[in-house]
Structure 1
Amino acid sequence: MRAGGRTSPRRPLPTLGWPRPADATAGAVTGLFSIPEGMAYAAIAGFNPVAGLYAGVVPAIVGSLTSRTVLMVTTLTSAIALTSQSVLSDAGLDPKDAGNVALLTVMVGAVMLLMGALRLGVVMSFVSNAVMTGFSTGIALQIITGVLKDATGYKPQGEIKLYQLGDWLVHVGDWQGAATAVAAATVAVWAAARSVRRLEPVALLLAMVVVSVGVFALSADVELVRDIADIPAALPSLTAPDLSVVPELVGGAFSVALVALAQAAGIAPSMPNPDGSRSDVNGDFRAQGYANLLGGLFQSLPSGGSMSRTGVAVSAGARTRWAGVFSGVFLALVVLVCGSLAERIPMPVIGGLILVVGGELVWGRRRDIVLVLRTSRLSSAAMVR
């Protein structure tokens, strides 16, 4: 079977359409999520956390304006961050050097553009539905396991995601009370808001704001965004790539690009275009290329289609590509105007809401998962892998 990201007649530029009111709300929620999530991913991989924050500005705006998968949000993911760190370390380059990061990001963008121009997205047409279902579900599971520590204060052990999930459940006695209570309260507020029809589009935002204010009022002892790094009250500045190390990063740029494009390929089947248009894998390749070419010049780490950030946008009511654009603009405004307030967002709040988003992604694919499991053992094995 063909994957969800099918090719379509090539148009020079995607149609932009008009934004909906819900897109503004979805953009605000996604922009706020980009603060702790982007900084955490960058910090875990040994980069300057601010570079992860800035990955939610220019790449998100450019990627959303040019992608063929309308709701896809282009930004930093944990896999991209870790792969980028490995590439720079193997080349003997400092991952915190702005010139090195800028060069790698620009080169990743060039590789993505090249693959889109050569229409190599056709390879995705031969990927079975079982594999794509497994890939999408695997990303959702990765999203869930990635925030278990934020939600409960306990970091699960093991390399396999299912093993980590089991380890986390077995060690429920090691969960931190305050963090777990805050995450649970976040999910509860989200569920309560979601049950009211008028509040459903802003349920994620309400949960984030209400519980964050409650944590501040009660002086709860939980990890905050500012414990990762300070948020500078400044927009990303123009940064020149260090062209002297191009030879060392050629192979690595291909590696990072392939990881990013593989992750993004799972978004189109999970998030169909609301306007009924068909996604175009090659168009998405090019869109991510543009996002990295420009983002690399403005202090961004390499970026790609993010399942978690796209899931947040969709859960918050995104209807057009403008939700991703608004997320980048809103993030820039927050950083510029009220970064000190954003530093007070509790990490367990983000953990709780990401658990909700990851759970919704798995639930949304439940019929495909059941269908694959019933089809054949071979298809089931392909999905599990």
Structure 2
Amino acid sequence: MATLRFDLAASLVVVLVAVPLSLGVAMASGAPLAAGLIAAAVGGIVAGRLGGSPVQVSGPTASLTVVVAGLVQTYGWRATCLITVLAGVVQVLLGALRTARAALAVSPAVVHGMLAGVGVIIALSQLHVVLGGSPQYSALANLIQLPGQMLDMHGHKVMVGVLAITVLLVWGRLPKPVQALPAPLAALLVAAGTAWLFRWDVTRIDLSGAVTAWAPPELPHGDWHQLAVAVLLVALLAGAESLLCCVATDGMHTGPRADLDRELSAQGVANMTSGLLGGLPVAGVIVRSTTNIRAGARTRWSAVLHGVWVLLFALCLGWTIKLIPIEALAALLVFIGVRTISLGHLKKVHGHHEVPVYVLTMAGVVLVGLAEGVLGGIALAALLALRRLTRVTVTKDAEPGGGVRATVSGSLTFLSVPRLTQELRAIPAGTAVLLDLNIDFMDNAAFEAVHSWRLDHERLGGTVTIDELHDEWYAMAASGRRVSRAKTPPRLTGRWRLPRPPRRPGESAGGEAHPLAPGAEESHRSTAPLGRPHAAAEPARNQPAHLFITCADSRVAPDLIAGGGPGELFVVRNVGNLVPRAEPGAPADFADAFADDFADDSVAAAVEYATRVLKVHTITVCGHSGCGAMAALLSGPAATAQLPRLHRWLRHGESGLGGLGDGGPEAMLDELGRRNVRRQLDNLMTCPGVAEQVGDGRLKLVGLYYDVASAQAHVVPPPLPDAPGTDAEPSPR
């Protein structure tokens, strides 16, 4: 009951978004408008109560409009309802078989391309409605007929549609209190009110008796093969969108993580219920879920209550919907369709060289069909992945004394044999060759090629020394031992980070001057050549894009956590990954910003230099599990009584102590470590110039929490408003 007030408030916000969107999706799908409200109510009550995500909100989704519209046109509405029921049965079975994780294997480029294609189709079809006409049978036909439709525009209908789009465009620029009313609802209210006030000739919506005029689903007539494909298509698309929405929302809240198999089964039950009641297919919707989280939802009861409000609205206030012009709903759909073509998604896939997958999927969905476009995108993604997996790089560098170091990187398969043979045979005869195999797989054809070249090279007076940096693929094949068919992780040797582990005190050093000397010598031989090309590219330039603030703990390796190479990270390490806070009224100059008794100018200097000189794009604060500094804070002042400087330094982490849960020492330590990351991000915002750069979009602050046992880093989400413990007073030391 402690969270009910948060969930109740959030449900009221979500229902304001859900009602207009549900009506719009139903109209674009060619289904009865009441079907959208039925699906919204069922998605909230059934999927919300049974689902595996505590904050996800389900309902009719725009991504299925193309499929549903095709089904309604082919089989009729009541038969489409039965297809929805059968799709729900398939989802329940898939959830029971625990196959939910498999849906996440689909490339995001395919998903975003599909959504963009659906957005184009929706925008083109509904633009005809905004202009006072009717949508055509395909996206291409809508595009061809659009110029003629624009020449024959209907005045009042166009005006109300343009007015709705204008409200949607400017709403985000209005003051925050005004934006408390969701933009879709505001657009419909303004359009409806203006049309009523000036008595414009527009098309009205009428739901009178629509909710109570229920008829059972009927058996579709047609080829059962096509019916099976339709059922699978609805089940898989709705299920995939729900699971991807689950994964996205997990990173936006601090509550329990989603159970994907339970969520998939719940979506199946919701679709069975929605189809039986005459509603649209149901899926998790990212817009409603995001709104739910931002409105402060804590548990699944927010989604359930939202469904109850939608049901009450349909039963008791359905008569008010007749005031809404259909052209305004169409304008809302045009806006939503255009918004799905996100440049942000295109930038992300461009960074992974997957733009062709995105473009092919979008074009296939628009020009051919949704299933064909998705299958084409998946096929292209698979081909590109195969090409990357079989890509091999061969570099050759001269060694002192006339030798050659050849480094082969990648997966050695029969596809790489021509390139590999060409590069190796170009090495002059009689040369001393050090061949570094930095590979994760070698098949028999590749082994035969390398082994044959080696024998020929040595027969002509040269020497070949083979050094394998990971598993000994070549050595095992040469000895006749069985080679594993699957890729294996690299061996955890001392060369994982250092060329070899340093000796500990008491071990024999063999007369060497320093315990790290053997590691340095091995680094010069094996590791330095791999990093030399990066260092030689721009030896005098120090221009990292990221400032990385982390703990001094020896188990935390910033380059490995962030996946950065030489020159990519500007690193600051201190005890507890702390950032001293600039108090209100402190001087704007960095030299005086931390001039109290417990100041630490090194952190301030690093932030100043990184933001003003290096112009970094991100600042990351990374905490970790089992942190000694956090343990000292939990233990109280006595733990650092004999360490006065450490005692003073840890004051910068005390603000996270208040309101900790009582889940045992390990849980409290883990919670404090994550909370400390958030606190230090808040402290960064007090540094001169940081808040301004964040507000302008030039700088992004990121929180990470590194689990030492699993060697995995997790993003620490920002604290939600009014989250328990976020405003607690620090405990005195």
State the TM-score, normalized to the length of structure 2.
0.41
Q: Which residue number in structure 1 is paired with residue 58 of structure 2? A: 73
Q: What is the CA-CA distance between 1:189 and the residue it aligns to? A: 3.0
Q: Which residue number in structure 2 is paired with residue 123 of structure 1? A: 102
Please point out which of 23, 36, 39 is paired with 1:35. Answer: 23
Higher strand proportion (structure 1 or 2): 2
Please point out which of 2, 7, 12 is paired with 1:24. Answer: 12
Matches within 5 A, 1:189-228: 189-194=167-172, 195-204=174-183, 205-226=185-206
Counterpart check, 1:55 vs 2:31 = no
Distance 1:57 1:129, change over 3 A: closer
Distance 1:141 1:242, change over 3 A: closer
Distance 1:256 1:360, change over 3 A: closer
**Is the 2:125–2:142 Cα contact (8 Å) retained in structure 1?**
no
Distance 1:252 1:147, change over 3 A: closer
Distance 1:215 1:314, change over 3 A: farther
1:202 maps to a residue whose letter is L
Counterpart check, 1:288 vs 2:288 = no
Distance 1:74 1:156, change over 3 A: closer
- Report the secondary structure of 1:225's partner residue: coil
Please point out which of 334, 346, 356 is paired with 1:381. Answer: 356
- Report the secondary structure of 1:221's partner residue: coil
1:217 maps to a residue whose letter is L
- Residues in 2 aligned to 1:16 and 1:53: alpha-carbon distance in whole angstroms: 24
Counterpart check, 1:187 vs 2:165 = yes
**Is the 2:241–2:284 Cα contact (8 Å) retained in structure 1?**
yes
- Residues in 1 aligned to 2:143 and 2:290: alpha-carbon distance in whole angstroms: 25
**Is the 2:52–2:263 Cα contact (8 Å) retained in structure 1?**
yes
Distance 1:138 1:327, change over 3 A: farther
Q: What is the CA-CA distance between 1:16 and the residue it aligns to? A: 9.7
Q: Which residue number in structure 1 is paired with residue 653 of structure 2? A: none
Counterpart check, 1:352 vs 2:331 = yes
Q: What is the CA-CA distance between 1:345 and the residue it aligns to? A: 0.8
**Is the 1:156–1:165 Cα contact (8 Å) retained in structure 2?**
no
**Is the 2:24–2:332 Cα contact (8 Å) retained in structure 1?**
no
1:74 maps to a residue whose letter is G
What is the identity percentage for the equivalent residue pairs of Structure 1 and Structure 2? 23
1:216 maps to a residue whose letter is W
Matches within 5 A, 1:361-376: 361-363=340-342, 366-376=343-353
Q: What is the CA-CA distance between 1:155 and the residue it aligns to? A: 4.9
Distance 1:292 1:51, change over 3 A: same
Q: Which residue number in structure 2 is paired with residue 330 of structure 1? A: 309
State the TM-score, normalized to the length of structure 1.
0.73
Q: What is the CA-CA distance between 1:108 and the residue it aligns to? A: 2.0
Higher helix proportion (structure 1 or 2): 1
- Residues in 1 aligned to 2:71 and 2:103: alpha-carbon distance in whole angstroms: 23
Matches within 5 A, 1:311-322: 311=287, 314=290, 319-320=296-297
Counterpart check, 1:299 vs 2:299 = no
**Is the 1:61–1:324 Cα contact (8 Å) retained in structure 2?**
yes
Q: What is the CA-CA distance between 1:212 and the residue it aligns to? A: 0.6
1:79 maps to a residue whose letter is V
Deviates more, 1:63-72 or 1:211-220: 63-72
Q: What is the CA-CA distance between 1:315 and the residue it aligns to? A: 6.1
1:59 maps to a residue whose letter is G
- Residues in 2 aligned to 1:243 and 1:298: alpha-carbon distance in whole angstroms: 15
**Is the 1:26–1:314 Cα contact (8 Å) retained in structure 2?**
no
Q: What is the CA-CA distance between 1:209 and the residue it aligns to? A: 1.5
Q: Which residue number in structure 2 is paired with residue 254 of structure 1? A: 232
Q: Could you report, residue by residue, the CA deviation over 1:327-363 in whole angstroms, capped at 9, with x for unpaired residues?
A: 4323322222232221221122222333333444444
- Residues in 2 aligned to 1:264 and 1:189: alpha-carbon distance in whole angstroms: 30
**Is the 2:24–2:330 Cα contact (8 Å) retained in structure 1?**
no
Q: What is the CA-CA distance between 1:188 and the residue it aligns to? A: 2.8
**Is the 1:109–1:288 Cα contact (8 Å) retained in structure 2?**
yes
Q: Which residue number in structure 1 is paired with residue 154 of structure 2? A: 176
User: Cα RMSD over matched residues?
Assistant: 3.9
- Report the secondary structure of 1:220's partner residue: coil
Q: Which residue number in structure 2 is paired with residue 274 of structure 1? A: 252
- Residues in 2 aligned to 1:16 and 1:134: alpha-carbon distance in whole angstroms: 39
- Report the secondary structure of 1:232's partner residue: coil
Q: What is the CA-CA distance between 1:220 and the residue it aligns to? A: 1.0
- Residues in 2 aligned to 1:172 and 1:242: alpha-carbon distance in whole angstroms: 40
Q: What is the CA-CA distance between 1:82 and the residue it aligns to? A: 3.2
- Report the secondary structure of 2:202's partner residue: coil
Q: What is the CA-CA distance between 1:286 and the residue it aligns to? A: 1.4
Higher relative contact order (CA 8 A, sep 6+): 1
**Is the 1:51–1:299 Cα contact (8 Å) retained in structure 2?**
yes
Distance 1:149 1:331, change over 3 A: farther
- Residues in 2 aligned to 1:360 and 1:272: alpha-carbon distance in whole angstroms: 23
**Is the 1:41–1:52 Cα contact (8 Å) retained in structure 2?**
no
Larger Rg: 2
- Report the secondary structure of 2:329's partner residue: helix
- Residues in 1 aligned to 2:44 and 2:260: alpha-carbon distance in whole angstroms: 18
**Is the 1:185–1:211 Cα contact (8 Å) retained in structure 2?**
yes
Residue ranges of structure 1 left out of the alignment (5+ in a row): 1-14, 90-94
Counterpart check, 1:64 vs 2:48 = yes
- Residues in 2 aligned to 1:271 and 1:352: alpha-carbon distance in whole angstroms: 28
Hey, which bits of structure 1, 4+ residues long, moved more than 6 A? 239-245
- Residues in 2 aligned to 1:267 and 1:196: alpha-carbon distance in whole angstroms: 29
Distance 1:39 1:154, change over 3 A: closer
- Report the secondary structure of 2:200's partner residue: coil
